[in-house]
Structure 1
Amino acid sequence: MIETWRWFGPSDSISLQRIRQAGASGIVTSLHEVPTGNLWTKEAILERKALIESHGLTWEVIESIPVHNNIKTRTGNYQQLIENYKQSVVNAAECGVPTICYNFMPVVDWTRTNLMYKLPNNSHALRFEMTDFAAYDIFMLEREGAKTSYSKEVIEKAERSFAAMSDEAKNALEKNIIAGLPGGEGSYTRDSIRSAIEEFIALGTEGFRDNLFAFLNEVIPHAEKAGARMCIHPDDPPFSLFGLPRVVSTAEDARKLLAACPSPANGLTMCAGSYGARGDNDLVGMVNEFGSRVYFVHLRNVIRESDGSFYESDHLDGDNDMVGLVQAILSEEKRRETEQGSENLIRIPMRPDHGHLLDDELNDKNVKPGYGYTGRLKGLAELRGVIHAVGAFMQVR
């Protein structure tokens, strides 16, 4: 695997030099300054690529070229936005950055309710608390029909939780959910998110899936011709929020997506933390089944709870079989090497996804939730040890 690090561009408080010192060789980043839907020019791509390479690093993955909501709903100027997307993908590949991670989540991007969940060792993790999310949905957003999305037990807990919340806690909860997290796209007011939710709910799950497939069938042929590899990121969390359709949450979703557009340019991002937030997703089995179409990996672990809540654990200490997952990914790389030869091998970039907030950055206002330096450095070191140990074991077997 190629060890990479997510970097948020020149404004990121974590410098490229510090990333190189962490031991990563590759960068995962985007042109965050380009508004969603606008064309990525070759000049802008090459300028960012040159900056990364000047620090002895390589730009391994674009995460992401965002997909505009008009494309997802196929409304407004969606056709022009798709044309921009096609050309952006081609430009990226022709500039030597062919691997593109993207997502097709409706309205909200990755979502957490608590950005400072204290762990027993006093570090802080990101958490999705179902009770608090339901409390927001039912009693603050007051979404029509919201109660039908939750069990009676969750609703009762949410009502008690909401009654006990201070105004400050309610404001923080709303900000966490609708203001947007790092790398996500856009933010909402309470009124605007209600309107957006209604539009996507009206599509229904299959209607929304059809829109994803229509997008892929327009973009993927251009990506394949240019040598680009598109790898969709799963829904995070991998179940419905606000009653919205979710179409990249399970192995069956992945099967449908790959079958709908059977091109080598149509691939997956194996995000262990996202897929792994569902206990019915077998991550190792998914890599074994879809390995030839896995082009990017996020290694992150979670501890799941029975009501759908979860928090992000240490990378090697959670409900996901991280060692088994690493072995499956290395086996896929070995298969590729056998079939393609070492000169043509497409290695799989991985990054330590998120990290705990540790004491040395606790009061640093520049730290993005989940994207501190020390927590990810710890995660990368732990994962590197597993990768080396598993790789050595596979060689002597």
Structure 2
Amino acid sequence: MRTTPRILTLVLTLLGIQLAWLAAPAYACGCGAMIPGGHTQVRVDREVSVVRWDGRQEQIVMSLTVAGTADRAAWIMPVPHRATVRLGDRRLFEQLQEQTAPEHRTRYYFWPRSGDWPFASGDGASAAAPPAAGAGVGVVGRQRLGPFDVARLTADDPAALSDWLHRNGFALPARLAQALQPYVDRHWEYVAIRLAPRSDGRTALYGALDPLHLTFAADAPVYPMRLSRLAANPQSLGLYLLAAHRMEPRTTIGGDRPKVTFAGRVRDARGPLAGLSRGTDYLTALDQEFPVPSRIDGDHELRRAATDRAYREVVYDYRLREIAGLPAWLAATGGVLVVSAAVIAVCTVRATRRRTSRAPVPNL
């Protein structure tokens, strides 16, 4: 799961899986602010983010799957220090899914349930590129990465940043500019990412976008979430954390209690996961819901958990117990019936014999 408004604006957080419409017409997510131009719309169907922390440097890899009517969009992501940006590797997320997949166990039941014979109605299967900056805004660098035009910005005034974005063809909702103030006060910087138009005329905003990989210094691991409080609908956050030890958020920041879906050392890592987890091989996967986004009161500050206890979700597959290919209940009840019939037959024969032996013999 995740949604976001687009147009080079500043806002929203840095990673995670979040869905929900923000101001019209836009979606909010933990990746920053995504806002389309004009009256078009865009939605984030899925957002997956990875945070790597080695004690001095933070890396974030983010992948978005989007859909909508827009042919261009932009993000602005707040970061605590100057960032470098490059394209990520799609395989990373496939490998993380493999590492954190639930363990499947089978549990058997004896008596038939809905979907089992004789209750089954069918087969018995259960349904289961920015120009020069103006006053108050500095352009640190600019680069082209695949379909993305990336600008790294500084700003000492949210209004100046808003003006810069507006002059570059994007309308910034006033409330988003105001929400930026805490980041300006802390002298954070911003990564502005704009999708470049495709030469074939087709929309670039459909399907899975190329992952983006951000690297920056950090005094402590943080996941920006403050700007998600502007979302109109409930938000969902999904996050992979790679560190030397098991990690956890310090507080709920106004959402439900984060749910740990996996915790443990990365095993048999290869490819991009091997490189990213080297020296930070403890993987923690979290899901969190924000039913009322307006209650979000800060960014996720991440810390080491009390223990490194491993955890993996267990999914139980329930199956009807069988004996020699027959439902166990049928074999058992059939056996009981056969035995009962045999007992009744034996008792009947014995009773008949006793009556016969006791019958008086007539005198001739």
Query: Hey, which of these two has a bigger chunk of helix by percent?
Result: 1
Same topology, TM > 0.5 = no
Higher relative contact order, structure no. (Cα contacts within 8 Å, ≥ 6 residues apart): 2
Determine which structure has the larger strand proportion and give its number.
Answer: 2
Structure 1 length-normalised TM: 0.24
**Computing the radius of gyration over CA atoms, which structure comes out larger, 1 or 2?**
2
